[in-house]
Amino acid sequence: MNSRAAKFSWAIPVAIVTFLSLLAAAGFRSTTSILFQPFEAEFGWTRADTSLAMSVNLLFYGFTAPFAATLMAKYSIRSVGTFALALIAAGSGLTMFMNQVWQLVLLWGVIVGAATGSMALVGGAMVASRWFVKGRGLVTGIFSAAYATGSLIFLPLTSNLVMSTGWRVATFVIAAFALAVSLIFAIFFREKPESVGQLPFGATEPIAVTVKAPVSMRGNFKVLGEASKRFPFWALVSTFFVCGWTTNGLIGAHFIPAAHDHGMPMTMASSLLAVVGIFDIVGTVASGWLTDRFNPVVLLAIYYGVRGLALFTVPFVLAPTVEPPLLFFVVFYGLDWIATVPPTVELCRRYFGLEVSSVIYGWVFTSHMVGAAIAASFAGWIRVADGSYFIAWITAGVLCLLATTTILTLLAKRYRNVKTA
């Protein structure tokens, strides 16, 4: 083997292929909201009909994560990822022939929801854990940013396709792209450094794995049962529940109508939400870099604390036009959006071991989606009952401060004994 070949590391191409697949999966899932209006117009369906498909999509997206980690441990990340992307292609492609609501729920709710959930942040966390020692937090941050990047790329492209050529052409393009990415993933992805005779990036010796990831559903629940006996698990679950509540559930679902209540045009509010997505990429990658250098517990305490303070200001900065205080909030919230992911993933690794951490993070991620679902309903109920979102904003701010207090308890001496593999 020549010196050039010896220096080649599969970690970088594996990371690139993983990012591409995560970006594609996130982009496909984000296009659902764009397609619903044309579906309603053509088939005469109601918003309740299409919202049902969205709810099922969120449900399967969130609850697939911990089981996807088990399937990846049993059958390989390459097999599960390739199959998931192929399922997205099938779900999108078959959409061209649907004409019943139940078909929409099955294709976009169950199939696309479960498939994109299988390729969610859990897969990225597993790849980062296996392939990287140096810069692991940064890589996790980059993988996390794939969600926002995918949405920013696919939302305008799909919207333009729908407006210019119709929704059937748009779904065909999505299906073709998903199939292409699945082939790229199958060809270029490598499972573990050991499978190609290499060490993880930045490692000087093989990493000893003391606890293997479960390869059965029974083993998955056994891991959950063992983890649930430890306070750090509940600290991560409860704080990530708040993260979902204050991002996807509240800002993601209600920022636009709340801004509209204050006299802002919906197009302007939508643009502000897009700005949140742009700065989300910057904030998540930066958080990964910080996670490699600082205590993740302290980082999470800061993230939740300042997020809570920011939420207290929302009722006072919303206005018919974009003023500096509102713009500052939007930029800050974008930076903080899922900056919580890299330190949360790192704490799962430290407390529960390298291999098991992906399953643990899968369950923690599920709490994120549960928090989002509850917040979306709660904020809507508050708006109907009170005529404004004021109580919803204040409640979210209080929850963030409680999350800060909860995560800081991990600094206590009895919670400092952690695993590293």
Shared domain for 225 and 337, answered yes or no, is: yes
Are 53 and 105 a contacting pair, CB within 8 Å? yes
Average pLDDT over residues 343-367: 87
Shared domain for 224 and 176, answered yes or no, is: no
Residue 143 belongs to some domain of the structure: yes
Shared domain for 135 and 231, answered yes or no, is: no
279-324 confidence digits (pLDDT tens):
988 998 899 899 988 999 999 999 999 999 999 999 999 999 999 9
Of 161, 196, 231, the residue at which a domain comes to its end is 196
Residue 208 belongs to some domain of the structure: no
221 backbone dihedrals φ, ψ, rounded to 5°: -70, -30
Residue 225 belongs to some domain of the structure: yes
pLDDT value of residue 413: 62
Shared domain for 184 and 307, answered yes or no, is: no
Residue 205 belongs to some domain of the structure: no
Instruction: Give dist(CA 250, CA 252) in Å, integer.
Output: 6
98 backbone dihedrals φ, ψ, rounded to 5°: -80, 155
Q: What is residue 230's three-state secondary structure?
A: coil
Are 330 and 37 a contacting pair, CB within 8 Å? no
Average pLDDT over residues 237-253: 91
Are 88 and 28 a contacting pair, CB within 8 Å? yes
CATH number (domain holding residue 330): 1.20.1250.20
Shared domain for 189 and 299, answered yes or no, is: no
Number of Cβ within 10 Å of residue 420's Cβ equals: 10
Instruction: Give dist(CA 307, CA 286) in Å, integer.
Output: 16
Instruction: Give dist(CA 146, CA 120) in Å, integer.
Output: 10
pLDDT value of residue 6: 47
Shared domain for 236 and 123, answered yes or no, is: no
pLDDT value of residue 409: 94
Are 158 and 34 a contacting pair, CB within 8 Å? yes
Shared domain for 168 and 222, answered yes or no, is: no
Average pLDDT over residues 259-287: 85
Which residues are CB-neighbours of 283 under 8 A, at least 6 positions away?
334, 335, 336, 337, 338, 339
Shared domain for 242 and 356, answered yes or no, is: yes
Instruction: Give dist(CA 98, CA 88) in Å, integer.
Output: 15
25 — pLDDT class (breaks 50, 70, 90): confident
Average pLDDT over residues 258-268: 86
Residue 212 belongs to some domain of the structure: no
Average pLDDT over residues 82-88: 91
Burial 309-324 (b: 16+ CB within 10 A, else e): ebbebbbebbeeebee
CA distances from 269 to 243, 252, 266, 397 (A): 22, 11, 5, 21
Average pLDDT over residues 52-59: 76
Least reliable range by pLDDT among 116-120, 169-173, 344-348: 116-120
Report percent pLDDT > 70 for the chain.
Answer: 91
Least reliable range by pLDDT among 23-37, 161-175, 190-204, 253-267: 23-37
Q: Whole domain around residue 17: which residue ranges? A: 3-196
pLDDT at 414 > cutoff 70: no
pLDDT value of residue 416: 58
Residue 201 forms beta bridges with which residues? 132
336-350 confidence digits (pLDDT tens):
988 999 999 999 988
In terms of DSSP H, where are the helices of 132-166? 136-165
pLDDT at 211 > cutoff 80: no
Shared domain for 252 and 149, answered yes or no, is: no
pLDDT value of residue 180: 92
Shared domain for 90 and 127, answered yes or no, is: yes
Average pLDDT over residues 183-207: 83
Shared domain for 77 and 157, answered yes or no, is: yes
Highest mean pLDDT among 191-200, 378-387, 393-402: 393-402
The conformation of residue 247, written as its DSSP 8-state character, comes to: I
Minimal CA–CA distance to 226: which of 209, 244, 211? Answer: 211
CA distances from 196 to 100, 158, 189, 203, 229 (A): 48, 38, 11, 15, 37
The single residue listed with the structure tokens 């600094």 is: 411
133-137, Cβ contacts within 8 angstroms, sequence gap of 24 or more = 133/200, 133/201, 133/202, 133/203, 133/207, 134/201, 134/202, 134/203, 135/201, 135/202, 135/292, 136/202, 136/292, 136/346, 137/287, 137/288, 137/289, 137/290, 137/291, 137/292, 137/296, 137/342, 137/343, 137/346
- Tokens standing for residue 222: 């056994």
Report percent pLDDT > 90 for the chain.
Answer: 30
359 — pLDDT class (breaks 50, 70, 90): confident
Query: Rounded to the nearest 10 degrees, what angle do helices 231-244 and 390-408 cross at?
Result: 160
Say which residue, 415 or 260, is predicted with more confidence: 260
Of 140, 161, 196, the residue at which a domain comes to its end is 196
Distance of CA 79 to the CA centre of its chain: 21
- Rounded to the nearest integer, the mean pLDDT of the chain is 84
Looking at the structure of the chain, the number of domains it has is 2
Residue 201 belongs to some domain of the structure: no
Of 165, 196, 227, the residue at which a domain comes to its end is 196
Residue 375 belongs to some domain of the structure: yes
34-52 confidence digits (pLDDT tens):
777 788 889 988 767 777 7
Shared domain for 227 and 168, answered yes or no, is: no
pLDDT value of residue 208: 56
Least reliable range by pLDDT among 47-61, 72-86, 275-289: 47-61
The conformation of residue 292, written as its DSSP 8-state character, comes to: T
Instruction: Give dist(CA 347, CA 419) in Å, integer.
Output: 10
